[in-house]
Each structure stands twice: as C-alpha cells, then as structure tokens.
Amino acid sequence: MVGSLLTLLTPPTSISPRFRIRPSTPPESEKGCRTRLQLQHRFIPRYVISTRVRTGRSVRGIRLPPSVTFEERRELERIIVKGLLNLKEELKGDYYPLHGSKSYEPKPGGMTREQEEDMRENHFLFQEPDSTLLLSSGMGRHWPDARGIFHNDEKNFLVWVN
C-alpha cells in the first residue's frame, strides 16, 4: 500500500523526520522537481499502533478555496471522486458527500447525519469551519455543497474533498 500511496503523494512537501528520504531520480528542473522518494521506515512494529500522513494538493485550472466558485468546487469534486472511484485493490472504496450536499448525484442529500457523526467521532471527517479566519477567507462558502470524504473499504485510506 505504501507504494500506491507514494504515487499519490509524490512530490510531498514534508515527511516526518523518522523517515529516511532518498531521491531515486534527480530533479528534472529547479521549478518542477519530480523526484520519487523511497521511504525506509525505522519503526519497531510492536510500538507503532498507527500513523497518519496528511497532505494537500491543488488541481491545475481550479482556483484555491478563497476564490473558487460554486461551479468550480462542484467540478473539482467530480474530477477527484471519479479518480478515487477507479482505485483498485486495497485502495478501493466509496465517496460520502457531507449531509446536505446536493452535488453528488449517486447520493442526493449526502450521507446520513448518523454516518457523518460516526465519521467525526472516529476522527475521519473534518468539521465545518467556524473560525473567523477561515470563514473570512471563503472556506465555508456554499457549505456543505461539493464536500465529502472518500475512504477505502478498510477505512485506513481517507481523502477529504473540498
């Protein structure tokens, strides 16, 4: 699974110091550095219960949250979910739009309130923004439309959408 995950995350912006990072190919240019990283964990398995890697990506042609339009956010959801639903093997899963979202046709109205609460209790799902900083930047605009979570069948690979 780590190999599949690295493909999604390459190039990462930062990785825990517990990982040894070794580029396997030189950068193609200073601007568009495309290096593949090999992670060699240094964990003692009996002490490590779980780990999390969190990253963010933007999509070329789609504005960032402070300036994204209603239609662009829906298009971004469509693009990302289409790609995620094509994942195979241990990454195969399903997409769950937030309760009240009307953007995802297969699940009009989104997930149930019970599903949403269960995901939050398990620390899978993000909260609606309530800080003045996030709200003033536009992060809560059109809430909850075109926002949701993808998780694989084992619930050990999660992707927050919008």
Query: φ, ψ for residue 115 (rounded to 5)?
Result: -60, -45
Q: Which residues contact 43 (CB under 8 A, 6 or more apart)?
A: 18, 51
Using one digit for the tens of pLDDT, what is the confidence trace for 68-107? 899 999 999 999 999 999 999 999 999 999 999 999 999 9
Sign of CA dihedral 107, 109, 112, 115: positive
For the cut 90, the answer to whether the pLDDT of residue 16 exceeds it is no
Q: Is residue 37 very low, low, confident or very high in pLDDT (cuts 50, 70, 90)?
A: very low
pLDDT at 139: 79
* H-run or E-run covering 115: helix 113-121
Q: DSSP letters of 33-72?
A: ----EEEE----TTT------------TTS--TTT--HHH
For the cut 80, the answer to whether the pLDDT of residue 59 exceeds it is yes
Question: CA–CA separation, 125 vs 47, rounded Å?
Answer: 26
Domain ranges of the chain: 1-57, 70-161
Q: Is 23 helix (H, G, I), strand (E, B) or coil?
A: strand
* H-run or E-run covering 94: strand 93-97
pLDDT at 33: 43
Range of lowest pLDDT (8-17, 30-39, 93-102, 107-116):
30-39
Q: Is residue 12 very low, low, confident or very high in pLDDT (cuts 50, 70, 90)?
A: very low
Q: Is there a binding annotation on residue 51?
A: yes
* H-run or E-run covering 81: helix 70-84
Q: Is there a binding annotation on residue 123?
A: yes
Q: Are 111 and 96 in contact (CB under 8 A)?
A: yes
pLDDT at 14: 46
Q: Is there a binding annotation on residue 50?
A: yes
One of 3.30.590.10, 3.40.640.10, 3.40.50.2300, 2.40.128.630 is the CATH number of 70-161, namely 3.30.590.10
pLDDT at 114: 94
Q: Is there a binding annotation on residue 53?
A: yes
